[in-house]
C-alpha cells in the first residue's frame, strides 16, 4: 500500500512540474528571457486600438498567453491549458469559458507560473487582458 501511495504521489509531482522551477529569466520556454519581471507586463508588439473579439485574443495569445500559460506543457498533454491551443478557434472558444475572476487570479497569482510571468495589475498586458475580457464576444 505504501508503495502504491508513493507511486501515485510521484505521478502527481510529475504532472505539476512546470516553469516555476526555473529561476527568473532562465525559463527556456518563455518568450521573456531578460529576467526582469517588468518585461512580461509590456507587449512585444504594438497593440490594436481596442483589444476585443477573436482578433484581440489572437494578439494576447502571441504576446503573453501562449508563452506564459501554455509553454511548459506539451500540447494536449497533462495540465495543458486549452485556451493556449495552436488552433485559434479552439483557443478562443476555450478562453470564452474562463470567468473574469479566474483570469485575474491566473495571471496575477499563478503558483505554477513563478514570479517572472505573473502580471502586475497596473501593467499594459493586464490592462489589455481586462479590455479583452470586457469585449471578448464583440468589438465596440
Residue that has been written with the C-alpha cell 487582458 in this structure: 129
pLDDT digits (tens, 9 = 90+) for 86-121: 889 999 999 999 999 999 998 998 777 656 778 999
pTM of the model: 0.71
Query: Where do we find the cell 498533454?
Result: 77
* pLDDT score, position 137: 94
What does the pLDDT look like over 27-75, one tens digit per residue?
Answer: 444 443 434 555 789 998 999 999 999 999 999 999 888 777 766 655 6
**Cell representation of residue 103:** 483570469
- Asked if residue 124 lies in contact with residue 31, where contact means CB atoms within 8 angstroms, the answer is no
Give 24-58 as a DSSP string: TT--TT-S--S--GGGGGS-SSPPPSS--HHHHHH
Q: What does the alpha-carbon distance between residue 46 and residue 43 come to, in Å, rounded to a whole number? A: 7
Q: Say what angle helices 100-108 and 124-134 make with each other, to 10 degrees.
A: 170
The whole-angstrom separation of Cα 13 and Cα 8 is: 9
Amino acid at each position: 500500500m505504501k508503495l502504491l501511495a508513493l507511486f501515485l504521489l510521484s505521478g502527481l509531482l510529475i504532472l505539476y512540474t512546470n516553469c516555476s522551477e526555473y529561476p527568473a529569466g532562465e525559463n527556456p520556454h518563455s518568450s521573456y528571457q531578460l529576467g526582469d519581471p517588468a518585461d512580461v507586463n509590456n507587449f512585444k508588439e504594438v497593440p490594436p486600438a481596442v483589444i476585443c473579439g477573436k482578433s484581440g485574443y489572437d494578439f494576447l495569445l502571441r504576446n503573453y498567453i501562449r508563452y506564459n500559460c501554455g509553454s511548459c506543457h506539451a500540447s494536449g498533454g497533462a495540465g495543458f491549458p486549452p485556451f493556449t491551443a495552436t488552433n485559434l478557434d479552439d483557443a478562443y472558444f476555450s478562453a470564452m469559458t474562463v470567468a473574469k475572476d479566474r483570469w485575474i487570479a491566473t495571471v496575477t497569482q499563478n503558483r505554477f507560473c513563478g514570479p517572472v510571468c505573473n502580471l502586475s495589475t497596473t501593467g499594459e498586458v493586464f490592462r489589455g487582458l481586462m479590455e479583452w475580457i470586457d469585449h471578448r464576444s464583440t468589438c465596440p
